[in-house]
Amino acid sequence: MVIASTIPVPDIPKTRAGPLDKPAHLCEYLVFAWLMLHALTAARVPKARRIVLAILIPTAFGAAMEGVQSLLPYRSAEWADFFANLIGATIGVALALGVTALVRRVRRRDILARPSK
């Protein structure tokens, strides 16, 4: 992500990726936060703290990348990118929590449905 955020982009209109720029940011940070949540879970970080950190760490990283881009003459920083990153991280954590809860529920139901020996 550091390389993709700092390499020169061709001289094309400011929309660079056109209408896909913000969805791309959102998706990148969704995955980043999802993976961060699972890493924090594996590290046995308490649930409330890992939820906050799984949103905060990717968002802070995204803010830092926007800051770096503002210093590069061939890149530009945008508040819209920052907010797309924040929204992506939040959705990533929400999805990860939802999928985890769903998997646990299905596993519990499977265990309860098994015939006793």
pTM strictly above 0.75: yes
Q: In total, how many domains does the chain have?
A: 1
Q: Looking at the predicted structure, is the pLDDT value of residue 86 above 90? A: yes
Q: Is residue 7 part of a domain?
A: no
Rounded to 5°, the CA angle 28-90-55 comes to 85
C-beta of residue 8 within 8 angstroms of C-beta of residue 74: yes
Taking only the tens place, the pLDDT of each residue in 40-74 is 999 999 999 999 999 999 999 999 999 999 999 98
Taking only the tens place, the pLDDT of each residue in 19-38 is 788 999 999 999 999 999 99
Q: Is residue 2 part of a domain?
A: no
pLDDT of residue 67: 95
Q: Residue 73 belongs to what domain range?
A: 20-113
Taking only the tens place, the pLDDT of each residue in 4-19 is 788 887 754 554 556 7
Counting every residue, how long is the chain?
A: 117
pLDDT of residue 14: 53
Q: Is residue 3 part of a domain?
A: no
Q: Is residue 82 part of a domain?
A: yes
Q: Is residue 28 part of a domain?
A: yes
CA–CA dist 7, 106 (Å, integer): 44
Helices (H), the chain: 2-6, 21-42, 47-71, 79-113
Q: Is residue 64 part of a domain?
A: yes
pLDDT of residue 80: 94
**Nearest residue to 76 via CA among 3, 2, 27, 6:** 6
| Tokens 């990148």, located at residue | 28
Q: Is residue 5 part of a domain?
A: no
